[in-house]
């Protein structure tokens, strides 16, 4: 019996994966074989349905000692290596614990969290955003390991890409885009040195046994803590076109997070602009030459903080 026959990743879970690059196509081709090898290497037994996300797949497993865990498989690339470096440094403090890893094959053995109970299930939004603020404070407090991407390089690359990208935008969007580029250029001289999560939206905070809530799916980099706020500011309402008070939600979350993290609000607003700039550059690259409605909402909601100093 082949390794693929012994353990096969269901084909239907891969529908959401982009196959535009050779690395992803090769990863998908060998995925079941790699999963089988890691199950054997770490003495694991599959226990439950395989789940897929935007970046990889998760196989619930039992370890040899009977404890439950999760085998996560991602395309072995720089982002996967960064995730392993960050998780190893945090060592479970505010984030899912890394139990073992195989960088070359994109494998991570993680403690098992409650995947069906994210922060999106919390009804009181102040309570939810305070959970995010508490987790970010812990994550940012760790010393950044060597080998992670830096916000200074990311900001420089964005600024370099802006002159070509802006040509795809119309007049109103172009003016907003140019303002973002100008403000981010001013901030780029001091990109910060904290260890960031990069993607801590409400869906990336799960209920756990050892703590009420833990972060998952980090994309670690080194930079200013203000660059880490946008995912939480954007969570929930941006996917629901019926939310009428989105600007108030954004401002309230921003005030709570900047207070909890002791951030200068003008600086944090500018680094949030950097996230909006980054997202827009990605959209233009993907053939969508407009600034999204949600990005405009966040930008407008934080305009007062970006224009004034202090907290």
Which H or E run includes 109?
strand 107-111
Out of 199, 224, 228, 299, which one is annotated catalytic?
Answer: 199
Query: Which residue carries 């955003």 as its tokens?
Result: 129
Helical residues (DSSP H) of 141-264, grouped into ranges: 151-165, 171-187, 230-234, 246-260
Q: Of 29, 26, 20, which is closest to residue 9 (Cα–Cα)? A: 29
Residues 6+ apart with CB under 8 A from 305: 254, 265, 266, 268, 269
Residue 280 tokens read as 């827009």
3-state secondary structure of 265: helix
Q: Work out whether the CA dihedral 75, 77, 80, 84 comes out positive or negative.
A: positive
Active site residue 262: no
Residues 6+ apart with CB under 8 A from 164: none
Q: What CA–CA distance (Å, rounded) separates 280 from 288?
A: 9
The residues annotated with a catalytic role in the active site are 199
């Amino acid at each position: 019996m082949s390794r693929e026959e012994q353990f096969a990743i269901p084909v239907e879970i891969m529908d959401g994966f982009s196959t535009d690059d050779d690395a992803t196509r090769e990863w998908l081709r060998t995925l079941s074989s790699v999963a089988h090898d890691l199950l054997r290497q770490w003495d694991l037994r599959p226990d439950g349905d395989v789940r897929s996300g935007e970046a990889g797949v998760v196989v619930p497993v039992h370890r040899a000692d009977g404890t439950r865990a999760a085998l996560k498989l991602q395309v072995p690339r720089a982002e996967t290596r960064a995730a392993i470096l960050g998780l190893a440094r945090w060592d479970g403090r505010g984030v899912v614990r890394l139990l073992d890893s195989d960088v070359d094959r994109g494998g991570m053995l993680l403690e098992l969290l409650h995947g069906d109970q994210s922060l999106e299930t919390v009804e009181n939004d102040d309570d939810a955003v305070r959970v995010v603020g508490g987790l970010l404070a812990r994550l940012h407090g760790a010393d950044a390991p060597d080998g992670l991407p830096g916000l200074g390089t990311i900001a420089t690359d964005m600024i370099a890409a802006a002159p070509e990208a802006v040509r795809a935008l119309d007049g109103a969007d172009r003016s907003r885009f140019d303002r973002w580029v100008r403000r981010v250029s001013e901030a780029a001289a001091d990109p910060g040195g904290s260890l960031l999560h990069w993607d801590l939206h409400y869906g990336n905070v799960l209920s756990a046994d050892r703590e009420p809530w833990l972060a998952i799916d980090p994309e670690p980099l080194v930079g200013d803590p203000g660059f880490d706020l946008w995912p939480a500011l954007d969570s929930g309402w941006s996917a629901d076109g019926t939310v009428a008070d989105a600007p108030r939600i954004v401002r309230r979350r921003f005030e709570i997070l900047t207070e909890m993290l002791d951030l200068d609000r003008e600086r944090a607003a500018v680094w949030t602009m950097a996230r909006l700039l980054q997202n827009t550059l990605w959209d233009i690259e993907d053939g969508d030459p407009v600034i999204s409605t949600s990005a405009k909402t966040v930008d407008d909601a934080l305009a007062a903080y970006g224009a004034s100093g202090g907290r």
